[in-house]
Homo-oligomer: A and B are copies of this chain.
Amino acid sequence: MSLRVGVIGGGQLARMMIAPAVELGVELRVLAEDEGMAASLAATAVGDYRDAAAVLAFAHDVDVVTFDHEHVPQPVLRALVDAGVAVHPGPDALQFAQDKIAMRTRLAELGAPQPDWAAVTGTDQLQEFLDAHGGRAVVKTPRGGYDGKGVRVVSRAEEAVDWFTALAEDANGGALLVEELVDFTRELAQQVARRPSGEVRAYPVVETVQRGGVCAEVIAPAPHASERLVEVAARIGVGIAEGLGVTGMLAVELFETTDDRLLVNELAMRPHNSGHWSQDGAVTGQFEQHLRAVLDLPLGDPAALAPWSVMVNILGGPTRGSLSERFAGAMAEHPEAKIHTYGKQPRPGRKVGHVNTVGDDLDDVTYQARAAAAHFDG
């Protein structure tokens, strides 16, 4: 009998669990939102993840339920737990990924380093925060944001009036999260795997390069990272995984500040774009690690296979034709590139694939990944 993992959501993160599931010999079952999703090969059901009955029916004969995204409502998660289904990460942890104000509040309790922040329920409070932080700040909707959506840099409180109005009925009573604009030199990401019985493994801290609020490139490990930085990042990641009771993969997005501090930017309780490099660059890729973690199996070695790994996203994809029509050019010029595509229709700004490269020379590894990915543009 195979172990059976049920994944709610049929996007590319679910899709990228298929390969390690097949290799290990784990049966992956996906509840997809629709036909023809990225993970359709493993889709055993199509249904609405907000529909408790549909989710319960999907979950009734799997060993554990996990997720392609963090949007499954708490009542649905609780219904699963009440029905005796193993859910990883569980609702108690996921609430902190679903609500950025809850996350900031809990991280503060844990003593994790964060930007200054406040929950503000109106323009007066927001203006107060702005005045106290140099006149500019980042406003975020507590729920539903991703890839730069639900995030706005403002210098006047009025710029968030529409969000206050829209959120008046929200669980946070209309509060928005406001955060100081951190003076950072770069963005990092720390991934940690944690299994229900407690074992934790930290991946090497990586540098992430964002463009337009979307992850564009990842370099693993983060270049010029001191031993202290590597240790501090891992300690922050492990502390959050344990403090929030995360099971499965956790990604902690970090700012490295001009005064050498690390501050927590965002969390994701699932495999994450900042860890795609590990598919080809680590002994245990994040998708295999996530399966092991949620099944409460011993975790794999997260060590890198080579001095450098670089991941470059394919954003948007070809304006004409399909991704596979670009294989020949990319492969001919970059035989060392690992090309990943997600079975999604190209569309401006959409993540439709990525390229990983590994090697000894960072300049070369970076060049190969960028140049191979560029074959899929335009």
Contact = CB atoms under 8 A, between A and B. Distances in A.
B342 A25 contact: yes
A358 B327 CA distance: 29
Interface in A105-145: none
Interface in A287-322: 292, 297-301, 303, 305-306, 322
A41 interface: yes
A306 B298 CA distance: 24
Contact of A22 (B15, B305, B336): B15
B25 A19 contact: no
Nearest to A19: B19
Q: Of A297, A323, A335, which is in contact with the most chain B CB atoms at under 10 Å from its CB?
A: A335
A279 interface: yes
A25 B336 contact: no
A269 B24 CA distance: 25
Nearest to A325: B1
A328 B25 contact: no
A209 to B, nearest CB: 23
A74 interface: no
A24 B341 contact: yes
A2 interface: yes
Nearest to A18: B22
A232 interface: no
A19 B15 contact: no
B339 A305 contact: no
B18 A298 contact: no
A336 B292 contact: no
A23 interface: yes
A161 interface: no
A42 interface: yes
Contact of A23 (B283, B301, B340): B340
Contacts of A339: 23-25
Contact of A1 (B20, B303, B322, B336): B322
Contacts of A1: 322, 324
Interface in A312-366: 322-324, 327-328, 331-332, 335-336, 338-343, 353, 358
Contacts of A18: 18-19, 22
Nearest to A353: B25
A338 to B, nearest CB: 8
A324 B2 contact: yes
Contacts of A229: none
B2 A300 contact: no
A3 interface: yes
11 contacts: A2-B324, A3-B327, A19-B19, A25-B340, A25-B341, A283-B336, A283-B338, A283-B358, A297-B331, A300-B336, A303-B336
Given A19-B19, A24-B327, A297-B331, 15 more contacts: A1-B322, A1-B324, A2-B343, A18-B18, A18-B19, A19-B20, A23-B279, A23-B339, A23-B340, A25-B324, A25-B340, A283-B338, A299-B335, A301-B335, A305-B358
Interface of A: 1-3, 15-16, 18-20, 22-26, 41-42, 279, 283-284, 292, 297-301, 303, 305-306, 322-324, 327-328, 331-332, 335-336, 338-343, 353, 358
